[in-house]
Structure 1
Amino acid sequence: MRIVSYNVEWFSSLFDDQDQLVMDGGWSSRWNVTREQQAEALGVVFAALDADAIMVIEAPDHGRTRRTVAALEHFAQVFGLRARQAVMGFSNDTQQEIALLFDPDTLNAHHDPIGHNTSSDAPRFDGVFRIDLDVDATEDQVVFSKPPLELAVRTKAGRKLRMIGAHLKSKAPHGAKTHDEVMRLSIANRRKQLAQAIWLRRRIEAHLQAGEDLIVLGDLNDGPGLDEYEDLFGRSSVEIVMGIGAAPKLYDPHARMALGQRIGAQPSSARFFISSEDRYLQALLDYAFVSDGLRAANPKWRIWHPFEDHSCYARPELRDALLTASDHFPVVLDIDI
């Protein structure tokens, strides 16, 4: 079975208010890419993936006039994908939803949120998490700007598992005018991101302690060596989500590789153009973590990076489509379940 995590940059901009795919010469929200070019590139990528399930990060918007599930299912119909049914959880106001597009002939998935609305343990992901972020004896109230998607999944072979799609993000220091203001806001925003990672980790531990199989997919927007504030907090969101010390662990070989070496070649899943420096920055942001029980199911990971994966690079149409479709690349997990 093939399960994928794929962050599609501004997927929402490709749909109208009737949730229909717009394929014309107008500009998409991607720089110098038309809606037709991005939509066709995504069609090539999704068709090549031929996945049983794709956790779509930054899925089309869900709001007063728009529907994420309808948009994704229309997209699947246009390009004849077997992953043609969609499910989402709690919507947000960022126009970047989290949704699963899956093949109903190979698995069934439904939104199955856990927890109370407010607690200091692990509330439901649309609730409020109470935690002292800065050890000042004052309780902070944390909310997700993009609530993770919790799914109960059953494969055609009869295997039951839990699946969580996540998009953790530290806000940019909007409104800051001086260096000190930028630093203060950046540190506060990163602290909130780490609190969200702790919240997610507590839910993960509940599943692991119950002996459930678990896959956590998504964009954690964080990792070893990614920013200047890492040393201040001592650990990244990736380390928190994976598990620290004697706690039960999740596993992703790319994350493990990155954590194991600070200097040298590392995998990457995203590529951003830095205009002020006229160059590209590559980073490992996207993951597909599995619990110990699933490590016995012959899992194999690949990041479909057009310049790092030989099979992707050797297929010019796919290579070009990956570059046009998004600034992130699919993380592919093949596993016998």
Structure 2
Amino acid sequence: MLISKLLAFITLISLGISIVEAKTIDWTETKNHVGEFVTVQGKVVRTYNSKKAIYLNFHKDYKSHFTAIIFASNFNKFLKSPDTLFKGKNISVTGKIKKYKGQTEIIVKSPDDIKILEAYEPIKNIEKKSVETLIKVKDQFVDKFKVGLANIYFSAALFENNIEKPLFKKMETPPKRELEIEFDRLSAQYLARYIKYLDSDVLVICESPNDPKIVEKFISEYLDDRYLVVHNAPVVKNKKYYYNQQVMALVDRSKFNVRKYEALNKKDITKNNLLYPFPPNKTIDYNGKPTKFWWSRFPIEFDVSLKSDPSHWYKFIATYPKSKFARSDKQALKARMQNNVHQMMLRERVEVVSKDFEDIFILGDMNDSMGMDEKEKKLGIDSLSTLYHGKNDSILWDSVSYKDKEGTYVYKGEAQVIDFIFTSHGLKKGKGRVKPSTNNFFHFFNTMIKHNLRPRPDRLENRELFLSDHAPVVIEVKH
């Protein structure tokens, strides 16, 4: 018998399978195990369905005792509504214990995480090993995709009539319209080669034109209609705050299912177009009085699921705050505060979606680097840290690092990082995985900067030789 068990164990190891003993604890001991992945046993004495979530309470005083939570996005995974299925039952719940407003909780994402027990007896010894041996198959990824971020310096000018309606400064000796069209044709070909070179399955582009229909035509003509366009044009609420350079995402239509968040009222909501979640502005105290700050550019939000596994959704929020620089000190201070409020509203959204989504991407040209400049010190703010709290951030982490004297942008001869792809901690160990990587585009980007004068996007000469003053960022996700 012993030999047969040993042979079975060796067979499991050879197949890439490991045997793990699960720690089982009593629900009364959960406060001692915050942050641990355990199995909790107890009796459900109360349930509540708020329509947004179902709460399985293990004590009548639910505000200060352990609760298992199932969010609405997972209701349909259960054959019967969990609030009636588990009420009064002895159950075990497996997951990571979190602490929220003084109580402990486990967020349940799958029916496999809850089991009904025939009997329940409080466990006195919390170090007791589980009587059930779990067999866990080692990571077997069935698909992968790439997420990219690029600031295309002249793309907004490229897709507009930049002679009659100059994006920047009007030219003293503008070329003929025919010449502009020819330059634009060459530039479009170069842009298409650049996008193909990045070969991203989800590509966020900053400084995009404000009309997505023009982009869709470009994709059809130059990129074999590979991408679906997600753009912030449908959600802009006030033209006063609508700048020419916008943010958009290109999503591989053959690889993903896509849900957009572009509906501005309930009647426009569909299965694949949900309500736009961001408020138009936020009022804060500035210079001693309440001041309303609008988005400098409205962010976009969308979800994707691989067609190879349509049940698992990845959350994307793409952003492109306006530059914090200005001509006067007064304007510069206000620009920095606007950038700070922009990041504040983003962070508020991140904290909401992190309750429902394990895999989250927050990405964009932030027009800011980590740390405080002199004007931010004067205001007592660090805008980027408002969104990303650094290495101790409980939700986000920065998956891309840079070698010394490298970055995504060169300012006054110094490289700095202002383009970021932040990901949730779930992408370290969840169904989707991102490995920390070092950005590998800076050398190419820096060489291009050295050998080409930085042309303005409203000047046509040599424009096709220069795509961006930012290095792109690309990460790979294994699923």
In which range does the TM-score fall when normalised by the shorter chain? 0.7 to 0.9
Is 1:100 the counterpart of 2:234? The answer is no
Matches within 5 A, 1:222-301: 222-225=368-371, 227-233=373-379, 236-243=382-389, 248-254=394-400, 265-271=404-410, 280-296=413-429, 297-300=432-435, 301=437
Aligned length: 287
Q: Which residue of 2 aligns with 1:151?
A: 302
**Structure-2 change in CA distance of 1:42 and 1:4 (3 Å):** same
Q: Distance in 2 between matches of 1:302 and 1:142?
A: 36
**Structure-2 change in CA distance of 1:93 and 1:129 (3 Å):** same
CA RMSD of aligned residues (A): 3.6
Deviation at 1:133, TM superposition (A): 4.0
Contact 1:144 1:196 in 2 (8 A): yes
Equivalent of 1:168 in 321, 330, 336: 321
Same amino acid, percent of matched pairs:
22
Matches within 5 A, 1:200-211: 200-211=346-357
Q: Distance in 1 between matches of 2:336 and 2:286?
A: 11
Q: Distance in 2 between matches of 1:24 and 1:333?
A: 40
Q: Distance in 2 between matches of 1:61 and 1:170?
A: 17
Q: Which residue of 2 aligns with 1:65?
A: none
Is 1:198 the counterpart of 2:344? The answer is yes
**Structure-2 change in CA distance of 1:36 and 1:42 (3 Å):** same
Q: TM-score, with normalisation over the residues of structure 2?
A: 0.53
Deviation at 1:38, TM superposition (A): 3.3
Q: TM-score, with normalisation over the residues of structure 1?
A: 0.72
Q: Which residue of 2 aligns with 1:86?
A: 229
Q: Distance in 2 between matches of 1:298 and 1:321?
A: 38
Secondary structure in 1 aligned to 2:354? helix
Q: Distance in 1 between matches of 2:149 and 2:326?
A: 28
Q: Which residue of 2 aligns with 1:77?
A: 220
Secondary structure in 1 aligned to 2:326? coil
Is 1:110 the counterpart of 2:246? The answer is no
**Structure-2 change in CA distance of 1:336 and 1:295 (3 Å):** same
Q: Distance in 1 between matches of 2:185 and 2:374?
A: 38
Structure 2, unpaired ranges of 5+:
1-144, 162-176, 266-275, 449-461
Residue identity matched to 1:295 = K
Q: After superposition, give the CA deviation of every residue in 1:199-224 in whole Å (9 maximum; x if it has no partner).
A: 11111111123444210110111113
Secondary structure in 2 aligned to 1:46? helix
Larger relative contact order (C-alpha < 8 A, sep ≥ 6)? Answer: 1
Runs of 4+ in 1 over 6 A off after TM superposition: 320-323
Equivalent of 1:140 in 274, 279, 291: 291
Deviation at 1:233, TM superposition (A): 4.5
Q: Distance in 1 between matches of 2:215 and 2:339?
A: 28
Deviation at 1:238, TM superposition (A): 2.4
Contact 1:111 1:151 in 2 (8 A): yes
Q: Which moved more, 1:38-47 or 1:142-151?
A: 38-47
Secondary structure in 2 aligned to 1:327? coil
**Structure-2 change in CA distance of 1:323 and 1:217 (3 Å):** farther
Bigger Cα Rg: 2
**Structure-2 change in CA distance of 1:71 and 1:97 (3 Å):** same
Is 1:58 the counterpart of 2:207? The answer is yes
Residue identity matched to 1:26 = E
Contact 2:302 2:315 in 1 (8 A): yes
Residue identity matched to 1:299 = V
**Structure-2 change in CA distance of 1:227 and 1:75 (3 Å):** farther
Deviation at 1:132, TM superposition (A): 2.3
Residue identity matched to 2:395 = K
Secondary structure in 1 aligned to 2:253? coil
Contact 2:354 2:360 in 1 (8 A): yes
Q: Distance in 2 between matches of 1:9 and 1:143?
A: 24
Contact 1:53 1:83 in 2 (8 A): no
Residue identity matched to 2:375 = Y
